[in-house]
Amino acid sequence: MLPGENPHAHAERLARSKAEAVALTGAPGDVVIGADTIVVIDNTVLGKPADKDQAAQMLRSLSGRKHTVITAVAVRRNGKTRSSVEEVDVTFRALDADEIDAYIATGEPTDKAGAYGIQGYGATIVERIDGDYFAVMGLAIVRVIALLREAGVRYRFGSPLG
């Protein structure tokens, strides 16, 4: 995070940077989508854990508690970037040390913000979601569709975007 940057601005900056970096390699009319997801608890941003110990620490801090998942999405097309942020409250059930160790042993927490993936084994540790499930997975689909529309791209069911 940059000095003085709040979690929403942090996630949005990263999503925009990803979309803009990829757009440099394509044609101006190409549609590029970037996204970034972070987990926030007690005003602390949890990114991807560096190792198993950090994953265990993160999971212990989330155990039995509510936290916030912030997913930012950005759409770049024709030299213009549009972005938005989705915030979701997620509550974990209480986890004991053996459950945390077993979950880490699956390998799933190693590349996930907050050390869990709701779309995998992590679904078994989530007690409640207040908001967009897809944002917790890492791509706020409804926000993406709205940003695409702003960029002049209308989603067509059953057809490629265009």
- The CATH code of the domain that includes 64 is 3.90.950.10
Query: Using one digit for the tens of pLDDT, what is the confidence trace for 136-147?
Result: 999 999 999 999
In a domain, 21, yes or no: yes
Task: Report if residue 29 sits inside a domain.
Answer: yes
Give me the residue label for tokens 């897809």. 134
What's the pLDDT band for 66 if we cut at 50, 70, 90?
very high
pLDDT mean across residues, the chain: 94
Per DSSP, the three-state class of 36 is: strand
pTM of the shown model: 0.91
Domain span at residue 135 reads 7-150
pLDDT at 160: 64
Is 111 among the catalytic positions? no
Question: Which of 36, 42, 130, 132 does the annotation list as catalytic?
Answer: 36
Q: Which of 128, 122, 119, 118 is nearest to 106 (CA)?
A: 122
What token pair was written down for 155? 């989603």
Per-residue pLDDT, averaged over 95-100, amounts to 97
What integer is the mean pLDDT of 125-150?
96
Position 116 confidence tier, pLDDT thresholds 50, 70, 90: very high
Q: Is residue 16 part of a domain?
A: yes
**Quick check: is 27 in a domain?**
yes
Place of tokens 């913000």: 113
Q: Quick check: 161 pLDDT over 80?
A: no
Inside any domain, residue 118: yes
Express each pLDDT in 19-34 by its tens digit. Answer: 999 999 988 789 999 9
- Residue 157 belongs to some domain of the structure: no
1 within some domain: no
How many domains is the chain built from? 1
Max Cα separation, the chain? Answer: 51
Q: Is the pLDDT reported for residue 121 higher than 90?
A: yes
Instruction: Provide CB contacts within 8 A for 6, sequence distance 6+.
Output: none
pLDDT of residue 154: 87
Q: What are phi and psi of 69, to 5 degrees?
A: -105, 130
**Do the domain assignments include residue 136?**
yes
